[in-house]
Structure 1
Amino acid sequence: MECRPGCGACCIAPSIQTAMPGMPHGKAAGERCAHLDENDLCRLFGQLTRPRFCQEFSAQEYVCGSSKEEAMQLIALLEVQTC
């Protein structure tokens, strides 16, 4: 599956526990990452400073569903299940 351009659900719904530029404590689940631009694209994509969690994320239908809204719900559910 290809990422949906402008979705950004994977940069909002999950918590990220590792430090990143501008977010030394990571981010909470549901918090918008400071590195999402106005088009919901990651400004750190392809950079070494991108968190490992983000580097390892792969768009999959069971996580991303068929829309941004569904992705937000599915990723939030996974977040709760893995806490």
Structure 2
Amino acid sequence: MECRLGCAACCIVISISSSIPGMPNGKPAGVRCIQLSDQNTCKLFGSSERPAVCSSLQPSVDMCGLSNIEAFHILSELEQATTPASIK
């Protein structure tokens, strides 16, 4: 599966604990990444500044579903399931 251009679910829904240019403390879940363009494309794609966690994400039907809306729902459920109770 290839990433759906303009989806950006993984750039909004999930938390990222590593530093991102412009977001030195990472990104909380549900917060739009500062490196996401108005067209919902990554400004750091292909750059060495892109966090390893972002580069390692590989689109799949299990993670992205069959639509952008489905991707938001699936990733939201995964984020909730993997967030420690002390943070919720």
Same fold (TM over 0.5): yes
Give the TM-score category using the shorter length: over 0.9
Instruction: Kindly state the Cα deviation for residue 40 of structure 1 after the two structures are TM-superposed.
Output: 0.3
Task: Give distance in 2, aligned partners of 1:40 and 1:8.
Answer: 6
**Higher relative CO (CA 8 A, sep ≥ 6), structure 1 or 2?**
1
TM-score for the superposition, normalised by structure 2: 0.91
Instruction: Kindly state the Cα deviation for residue 66 of structure 1 after the two structures are TM-superposed.
Output: 1.1
**Does residue 4 of structure 1 match 2:42?**
no
Q: Which residue of 2 aligns with 1:79?
A: 79
Q: Percent identity?
A: 46
Task: Give distance in 2, aligned partners of 1:79 and 1:53.
Answer: 14
Q: Which residue of 2 aligns with 1:36?
A: 36
TM-score for the superposition, normalised by structure 1: 0.96
Query: Once superposed, what is the RMSD of the aligned Cα atoms?
Result: 0.7
Structure 2: 5+ residue runs without aligned partners? 84-88
Task: Give distance in 2, aligned partners of 1:51 and 1:76.
Answer: 20
**Does residue 64 of structure 1 match 2:64?**
yes
Instruction: Kindly state the Cα deviation for residue 82 of structure 1 after the two structures are TM-superposed.
Output: 1.4
Runs of 4 or more consecutive aligned structure 1 residues displaced over 4 Å after TM superposition? none
Tell me which amino acid in the other structure corresponds to 2:7: C
Note the alpha carbon deviations across 1:16-60, whole angstroms, 9 max, x for none: 001111001101101000011011000000111111110100000
Larger radius of gyration: 2
